[in-house]
Amino acid sequence: MKKVRTRFAPSPTGFMHLGGLRTALYAYLYAKHHDGDFILRIEDTDRERFVEGALEVIYSSLLSSGLRYDEGPDVGGNYGPYTQSERKEIYMEYAKKLVELGGAYYCFCSKERLETLTDENGNRKYDKHCLKLSKEEVEKRIASGESFVIRQNIPLEGTSSYEDLIYGTIEVDYAELEDNILIKSDGMPTYNFANVIDDHLMEISHVIRGTEYLSSTPKYNLMYDAFGWERPVYIHLPTIMKDATRKLSKRYGDANFDDFINKGYIEEAIINYVALLGWCPKNNAEKMTIPEMIELFDLSGISKSPSIFDDVKLRWLNGEYLKAMSDDEFLTRAKPFFEKSEVSKLYDISKIAKIIKSRIEILSDIPEKVSFLVERPSFDSVLYENKKQKTDATVAKQVLPLVLTALSEIEDFSNDNLFKTLSSLSETLSIKSRQLFYVLRIALTGLEVTPGGATEILEILGKEESIKRVKSALELL
């Protein structure tokens, strides 16, 4: 059996769209599931849209998402160059061959003439005007330096058909297609041409890409057929939507991989979530590592209908990844987000990291989550009232002065020691330790719900700040 070879073929736009990342992921998973190769090809023939630094964005997003390509511009391979702008001569050679085969023709029409070709609906469709030029005339005009393009020669009648592994049989009437430009006047190919030449020369067995190419694929098949080349297998993927009517778009800040990283999502969670946008594994797994996805990947789990991006689910999944991290790893990743808060100047963030790791969903939740450590919010003594804990302001009044004395006497301000000492204090007072800890936590934080228990918070705040907070809480009672 032929080796499976898939490719990801982004244009260097300067950002990694999550839809693109999903295409890359599925192409990667499909190849790896079948022990095949995954190739990166840069489609940069539109030189007007060149963006500085765009290649680095592609390389780094794939790398940090864990999608390693076997061949590509920066890693090499036997089918290079992998950057289309470096393959200009190759395309020209094949375009000339296609002209000889009758699948394409030179066109010298001026911009002005093309503008007159608009039909009553405002659609412009080329009228094959230059198809009738003789070979001699074409050669003469090229020799005289006249500017030209090469267009595809699409039959006027008939229907084309092919099988897509997701969408089934696709039929398109040739009349709906146009004689698109294959080689532009600057000698560069268009996507319409370059994708065919490259997929063939790079021996791509399965073309995996977005549904926007579903209806133009018959044009590409005409070229495979004209050259006598085997068509690849096609796998078109459903669109990712923001909601029922809008596509996920960078414009709304909801499609760019880097925007998510900056918001405090982690790469593993994003790639895991992206996998689920249109694919459901047989065992319905949700949290999966890339090796697990490779094992499970199966086209029958890919849906035809557009998938809707679900923020809440991505947040949840991200939280699951944070929880599963070691404390050290969490701290490394969380550090930049701690540094957005005063808290990093005041306290030992490694201790705070431990208490919040399982209580946030995304890293940018950190500054808000720890703001009570920077400044205790003002609160009213009704906050001490809790039926379940059997506490109220009276309990606080009874307990807090003694806690204050105990705190000033404790030398070892570690969570363990604080817990032991204050638990035995509650015994002396004949109250439940959880009552003591409840009112103390309110006094320290001014919040009903906090990450961490009273003694963990004491340890973070340290002796001086803890005493200050309990004192001022007593004054409010």
Cα(176)–Cα(192) distance, integer angstroms? 16
Cα(12)–Cα(58) distance, integer angstroms? 7
10 binds ligand GLU (CB under 6 A): yes
Out of 6, 153, 190, 195, which residue is the one contacting ligand GLU (CB under 6 A)? 195
Q: How far is Cα of residue 370 from the mean position of the Cα atoms in its chain?
A: 28
Cα(475)–Cα(443) distance, integer angstroms? 11
Cα(448)–Cα(293) distance, integer angstroms? 41
- Name residue, tokens 């592994």: 165
3-state secondary structure of 91: helix
Out of 9, 188, 366, 436, which residue is the one contacting ligand GLU (CB under 6 A)? 9
Give me the least distance between CB of 200 and ligand GLU, in Å please. Answer: 13
* Region near ligand GLU per CB under 6 A, out of 3-11, 60-68, 149-157, 178-186: 3-11
Q: Which of 242, 250, 335, 471 is an active site residue? A: 250
Give me the least distance between CB of 466 and ligand GLU, in Å please. Answer: 57
* Region near ligand GLU per CB under 6 A, out of 8-16, 95-103, 350-358, 418-426: 8-16
Question: Which distant-in-sequence residues (6+ apart) come within 8 Å of 271 by Cβ?
Answer: 21, 25, 65, 66, 67, 290
Cα(47)–Cα(134) distance, integer angstroms? 32
Give me the least distance between CB of 473 and ligand GLU, in Å please. Answer: 59
Nearer residue to ligand GLU within complex by CB, 212 or 310: 212
Cα(53)–Cα(399) distance, integer angstroms? 62
Locate the DSSP E strands across 165-284.
Answer: 168-173, 181-183, 206-210, 233-237, 240-241
Out of 4, 5, 11, 459, which residue is the one contacting ligand GLU (CB under 6 A)? 11
Among this protein's residues, is 471 annotated catalytic?
no
Nearer residue to ligand GLU within complex by CB, 57 or 399: 57
Answer yes or no: are the C-beta atoms of 151 and 125 closer than 8 Å: no
319 binds ligand GLU (CB under 6 A): no
206 binds ligand GLU (CB under 6 A): no
Binding mask 211-230 for ligand GLU (x = CB under 6 A): --x-----------------
- Count of positions on this chain that bind ligand GLU (CB under 6 A): 8
Nearer residue to ligand GLU within complex by CB, 195 or 455: 195
Nearer residue to ligand GLU within complex by CB, 207 or 343: 207
Question: Which distant-in-sequence residues (6+ apart) come within 8 Å of 212 by Cβ?
Answer: 239
Binding mask 43-62 for ligand GLU (x = CB under 6 A): x-------------------
Nearer residue to ligand GLU within complex by CB, 108 or 224: 224
* Exposed/middle/buried for residue 266 (C-beta within 10 Å: 0-12, 13-18, 19+): buried
Give me the least distance between CB of 169 and ligand GLU, in Å please. Answer: 20
* Region near ligand GLU per CB under 6 A, out of 7-15, 162-170, 240-248, 326-334: 7-15
Question: Which distant-in-sequence residues (6+ apart) come within 8 Å of 64 by Cβ?
Answer: 261, 267
Cα(293)–Cα(88) distance, integer angstroms? 37
Residue nearest ligand GLU, Cβ-based: 209
Q: What are phi and psi of 120, to 5 degrees?
A: -60, -20
Answer yes or no: are the C-beta atoms of 211 and 238 closer than 8 Å: yes
Nearer residue to ligand GLU within complex by CB, 200 or 209: 209
Give me the least distance between CB of 324 and ligand GLU, in Å please. Answer: 33
Nearer residue to ligand GLU within complex by CB, 14 or 446: 14
Residue 390 region by backbone torsions, left for phi larger than 0, else alpha for psi between -120 and 50, else beta: left
Give me the least distance between CB of 103 and ligand GLU, in Å please. Answer: 19
Out of 209, 357, 376, 469, which residue is the one contacting ligand GLU (CB under 6 A)? 209
Answer yes or no: are the C-beta atoms of 330 and 356 closer than 8 Å: no
Nearer residue to ligand GLU within complex by CB, 191 or 338: 191
Q: Catalytic amino acids?
A: 250
Binding site residues, ligand GLU, CB under 6 A: 9-11, 43, 191, 195, 209, 213
